[in-house]
Amino acid sequence: MISFLTSDSRHRRGALPAFGLVGAFVLISGCAFAQEAIAPPQVTASSVYVVNADTRQPFYRKNEDEPYWILSITKLITAYVLVRRMGGHRSDTVAITQGDLTTGATAGLQKGDVWTLQDLLYGMLLVSGNDAAIAIADYVGRAMLAEEKKKGSPLKRFVEEMRTTAAALDAKHTQFADPNGLSPSNVSTARDVASIGSTVFRDPQLLPYWQCAKRTLNIGGPNARTIPLVSMIEMIGEDDIIGAKTGSHIGKNIYHLVVGWRAPNGQTVVAVVLGSASHSARYDDMRTILTALPHDFPELAGPAPAAAQAAPARTCQ
C-alpha cells in the first residue's frame, strides 16, 4: 500500500509528517489511509457525496449537507421499509383501489388490478411508479397497524416508519411526508442519501430488483394483462452498477441521481449527485465521478477478492 503515497496522494490528504517513530506507527497501523474526503471532479451537480458503503470512508464531498427536495429518491426508503417489515410476504397479493392511483410517473396500476408486492416493488424501482409506492405503503401500513392492534391511517403509519427508519440509518436531516416523493416536504441531503443508499444497495433482498433493465409482469384482476417494464434509469443493467434511483422534476429543472457501484476491488461505493444541470448531465456527472474514483483513490482499483470477482448472474424475465 505504500505505493499509493504518490505526490498526488499527499496533495489530496494533506502533507504527511516527517517519518519517525510516529510516522512508522501510523503506516503500520493503517491510519495513513483513513483519507479525508476531497472535492469531486468538475460536475454540474450542486451537491455531491461519495462514500465507501462497506467501510464508510468518504471520498468526495461538495455541499453535502445542503437540503434538497429529493423527489423519487424517497422510494429507496419505501422499498427498504417494505422488505424490513414484510420481506417474507412479497408474494402477497394487493387489490388496487382508486386511492392508489396518483399523478406523475406510474407503473400502470388500474382500479381492480391484483398485483403482488414483488411486482409493485418492480414497478416502483424500475419505472418509479408513484402509484406502486402508494399501494405498497397502504398495504404495509395496514399490516403494521393490525400487528400493533391500532387504528389510523395506513399511509400515515407507513410514513412514520419511513422517518424512524431513516433516523436509524443516520439520515439525520431527512424528512418524509409521503412514500413517493411528490411532496416538497420530502427533504434530504447528499450525505443522508448516501447513508440510506449504503444500506439499501447492500440489502440482499433488494439487489435483485436492479439486476435487469427490463421486466415483464403478469397482472391479475378484471383487466388481466401483461405489463412490460423498461427501466427509466439509464445505468440499470450496466456492469458494476448495483442499483440506482433518480429524482426528477422537469418543470422545476431538478435532477438527482444516486448509484450503488461495485468498485474494481469488490467494495460497494455509493455516489450521490443532487441538483445536476439536466437529465443527461446527472448521468455525465455520475460517470465522471465513477471514472475518477480509482485514480484518486487507488485502493479501489483492486484486485477484488476471489469471492467478489464474479458478479451475480443476471436473471431477467
- Cα dihedral: 67, 71, 77, 83 (round 10): -170
Rounded Cα gap, residues 177 and 184, in angstroms? 8
Half-sphere exposure of residue 119: CA atoms within 13 angstroms, side-chain side: 23
Query: The cell 468526495 sits on which residue?
Result: 60
* Contact between residue 197 and residue 180 where contact means Cβ atoms under 8 Å apart: no
User: Alpha-carbon torsion 230, 291, 53, 160, what sign?
Assistant: negative
- Give the Cα separation of 29 and 83 in Å (integer): 39
DSSP state letter for 38: B
Q: If you count DSSP H runs as helices and E runs as strands, how many of each does the chain have, helices first?
A: 9, 11
Q: Is 128 a catalytic residue?
A: yes
Which spans in 201-278 are helix H? none
* DSSP-derived secondary structure letter, 100: G
Q: Which three cell numbers stand for residue 57?
A: 470512508
Query: At 65, is the secondary structure helix, strand, or coil?
Result: coil
What is the number of other CB atoms lying within 10 angstroms of the CB of residue 246? Answer: 22
Q: Which is catalytic among the residues 75, 188, 195, 245?
A: 75
Catalytic residue among 47, 72, 231, 248: 72
Other beta carbons within 10 angstroms of residue 248's beta carbon come to 21
CA dihedral of 36, 42, 200, 188, whole degrees rounded to 10: 90
Active site residue 188: no
Residues forming beta bridges with residue 105, ordered by sequence position:
none
Which residue among the candidates 47, 62, 128, 198 is catalytic per the annotation? 128
Known catalytic membership, residue 75: yes
Return the bridge partners of 282, or none: none
Among all residues, which ones are annotated catalytic? 72, 75, 128
